[in-house]
């Protein structure tokens, strides 16, 4: 791709590493950015720089924020005693958009996967078990995707926490094979309200 100047080639190559963008759409995006370099490219460069400096993972729950402990973990308004377990931060955001869960979260950072050799130690499962004891958690709500790996992970966690707290999972409304981040807020609300014991 030597047809553009080096600075621009470099930007295209980096943009092509974003999920959902290939080389062609990266080129289109970069040309769009150059056309709107005052209105969009410069602000985007600044916003990326700001986030690259400030963004970090919450040491307690794994949520993304700008402080050592995220806003949700730090908030005194959030209910203590229950944790909602999600696979990744996008799912946490989907739960927050539904605005029905008032407790705190725990972000696993993925699911158990024999195929990809992801075991409990690769996820935040040991930290989850520690939190259940340390924070006197009485209910863990598993809001994992309705995929095979998501459900395998749910059963593993339910087994690990047996006798330590009640473990429930989102139920009604989550379609088979569905991913939380694709669902509308109402579906997530219904699934949370109708949660059942695992």
Residues 138-177 vs Zn ion: string with x where CB under 5 A? ----------------------------------------
- Determine contact, residues 98/138, Cβ cutoff 8 Å: no
Q: Does 183 bind Zn ion (CB under 5 A)?
A: no
d(CA 43, CA 23): 23
Q: In angstroms, rounded to a whole number, what is the distance separating the alpha carbons of residues 177 and 179? A: 7
- Residue 5 near which of a second copy, Zn ion, none (CB within 5-8 Å, type-dependent): a second copy
| Interface with Zn ion: number of residues (CB under 5 A) | 6
CA distances (Å), origin 89, targets 13, 110, 125, 143, 194: 26, 10, 15, 12, 23
Nearer to a second copy, 45 or 133 (CB): 45
8 vs 30: CA distance, rounded Å: 8
Smallest distance from a second copy to CB 91, Å: 10
Residue pair 83/137 in contact (Cβ under 8 Å)? The answer is yes
Strand partners, 142: 85, 169
140 C-beta neighbours (distance < 10 Å), count? 26
Residue nearer to a second copy on the CB measure, 90 or 133: 90
> Which is closer to Zn ion, CB of 70 or CB of 128?
70
Using CB under 8 A as the criterion, which residues of the chain lie in contact with a second copy when the complex forms? Answer: 1, 3-5, 7-8, 10-11, 14-15, 17-21, 24-25, 27-34, 37, 40-52, 54-55, 64-66, 71, 88-90, 92-93, 96-97, 181-182
Q: What is the dihedral of CA 56, 59, 60, 61, to 10 degrees?
A: 40
Nearer to a second copy (CB atom), residue 123 or residue 161: 123
Answer with the entry of a second copy, Zn ion, none that 24 interacts with (C-beta below 5 to 8 A by kind): a second copy
Contact residues toward Zn ion (CB under 5 A) are 58, 60-61, 63, 70, 73
């Amino acid at each position: 791709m030597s047809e553009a100047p080096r600075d621009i080639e470099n930007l295209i190559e980096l943009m092509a590493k974003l999920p959902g963008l290939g080389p062609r759409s990266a080129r289109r995006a970069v040309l769009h950015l150059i056309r709107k370099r005052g209105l969009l490219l410069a602000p985007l460069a600044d916003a990326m720089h700001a986030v690259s400096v400030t963004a970090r993972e919450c040491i307690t729950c794994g949520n993304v924020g700008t402080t050592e402990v995220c806003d949700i973990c730090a908030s005194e308004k959030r209910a203590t005693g229950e944790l909602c377990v999600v696979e990744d931060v996008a799912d946490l955001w989907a739960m927050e958009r539904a605005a029905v869960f008032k407790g705190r979260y725990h972000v696993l950072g993925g699911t158990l996967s024999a195929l990809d050799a992801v075991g409990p130690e690769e996820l935040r499962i040991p930290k989850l078990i520690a939190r259940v004891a340390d924070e006197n958690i009485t209910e863990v709500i598993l809001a994992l995707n309705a995929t095979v790996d998501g459900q395998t992970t749910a059963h593993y966690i339910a087994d690990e926490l047996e006798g330590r707290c009640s473990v429930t999972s989102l139920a009604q409304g989550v379609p088979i094979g569905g991913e939380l981040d694709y669902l509308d807020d109402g579906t997530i609300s219904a699934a949370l309200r109708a949660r059942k014991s695992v």
